[in-house]
Amino acid sequence: MLRGLIAFLVFIAVGICRANGPVADASPANDRSALQTSVAKSPVDQLIPWLLDEDRQLRGIPFNEVIVEVTGKKVLAFDPQNEIDRRVVNQISAVLDEVKRRMNAPDSPIQKIARINEASSHFEDMIRELLNSTPGLSCDFPRTAQEHVMRSGYPDLRIVDLMSKRVFYLDPKLYAVGSRDSSFRTFYFEPKIATNKVRDDAVHFIVGFEHEPREKNGRWNFTRWDLVDLAQFKVKLKAEFQSSNHDLYRPEAIVATSAK
C-alpha cells in the first residue's frame, strides 16, 4: 500500500512540474496538444480528490514501511529474548529513572521554565549525558548524510551498543497527565532526503515522560515514563498546503495597509 502511495505522489509531483514547465511555441500541433491537455485532468485536479479521501489510504500506515521506503533502513523490533536488547533496555531504564529524579529536583533548570515545550531539549541533553556515562553505550545526536547535527526532527538521539554495534534510536516526548488518549498530534516524521537522520537499521524507541500541571509555586513534577517500541507503530499522512510570509505578503497582492 505504501509503495503505491509514494508512487502516486511522485506521479503527481512530476505532472505538476511538467505543467509548470516552459511554454511551447505556438503551432497547430501544439494547439491540438494543449486542447487535449485541457480536456484531461491536471495533476492538481487528480491530487485534491485523492487527498480528501483520507480514510482510504492515508491512515494506518505502518511506520516501519515509511522508514524503509524513505531511508532504505529497517526498523528492528525490540526482542525480549535477545540478551543485547534486554541489557540495553535495562541500561536505558536506569538512565530514565535518574533523569526523572533529577528533573523533579527543586534546583533543576527546567523548574525555571514556564512552558513545558521548552523543556524538551533539557531532557535530550541529560539523557545523552547519562547514556554516554553508561559503560558499553554511546549516545549522540544523529547526523544527516552531510554529517550535519540537527536538533529538530525525528529522531532526537542515536544510541550504540559498543560491543554489538546495534543501534537504538530514542525520541523523548513530554505529555500532561490525562492526555495519553488525546488525538492531538504528538509525533511527526518529515520524509526529506537532505534532513534525514535515520541512517541505520535500528530499534526505534519513544520515551514519554508524564507530568502534572505546573504547581502554583512554579514547579514541574514528572510522575512516570514509558519506553515504547515503534516496530508496530502506525501513522497517518496529513495533507497540508503551506506557504511562507515571503509568499504571503507579496507587494502586488496587498490591497490595503495601515496609515503611515
Distance CA 120, CA 206 (A): 13
Non-local (6+) Cβ contacts of 73 within 8 A are 67, 198, 199, 200, 201, 202
**Alpha helix ranges (H) inside 167-216:** none
Domain limits, the chain: 2-58, 73-235
Beta partners for residue 138, in sequence order: 160
Please tell me the predicted confidence (pLDDT) of residue 26: 45
Q: 51-68 burial, b for 16+ CB within 10 Å, e for fewer?
A: beeeeebbeebbbbbbbb
pLDDT digits (tens, 9 = 90+) for 155-202: 999 999 999 999 999 999 999 998 888 777 778 788 788 888 999 999
Please tell me the predicted confidence (pLDDT) of residue 243: 87
User: To the nearest 10°, the Cα dihedral for 101, 106, 110, 115?
Assistant: 110
Please tell me the predicted confidence (pLDDT) of residue 23: 43
Distance CA 56, CA 252 (A): 40
Q: Using alpha carbons, list the distances in angstroms from residue 21 to 12, 27, 125, 243.
A: 14, 18, 47, 21
Backbone φ, ψ for residue 13 (5° rounding)? -60, -45
The architecture that CATH gives domain 73-235 is 3-Layer(aba) Sandwich (3.40)
Q: Report the predicted TM-score, pTM, of the whole model to 2 decimal places.
A: 0.76
Are the C-beta atoms of 150 and 158 separated by less than 8 Å? no
Are the C-beta atoms of 170 and 156 separated by less than 8 Å? yes
How many other C-beta atoms can be found within 10 angstroms of the C-beta atom of residue 232? 10
Tell me the pLDDT of the chain (260 aa) as tens digits: 556 555 555 455 545 545 555 444 445 555 555 445 444 566 667 667 766 665 555 678 888 998 998 889 999 999 999 999 999 999 999 999 999 999 999 999 999 888 888 899 999 999 999 999 999 999 999 988 787 788 778 899 999 999 999 999 999 999 999 888 877 777 878 878 888 899 999 999 999 999 998 876 678 999 999 999 999 999 887 777 788 889 988 999 888 788 87
End-to-end CA distance of the chain: 56
Please tell me the predicted confidence (pLDDT) of residue 185: 72
What letter would DSSP give residue 41? P
Q: Which helix (H) or strand (E) holds 65?
A: helix 63-71
Distance CA 219, CA 213 (A): 9
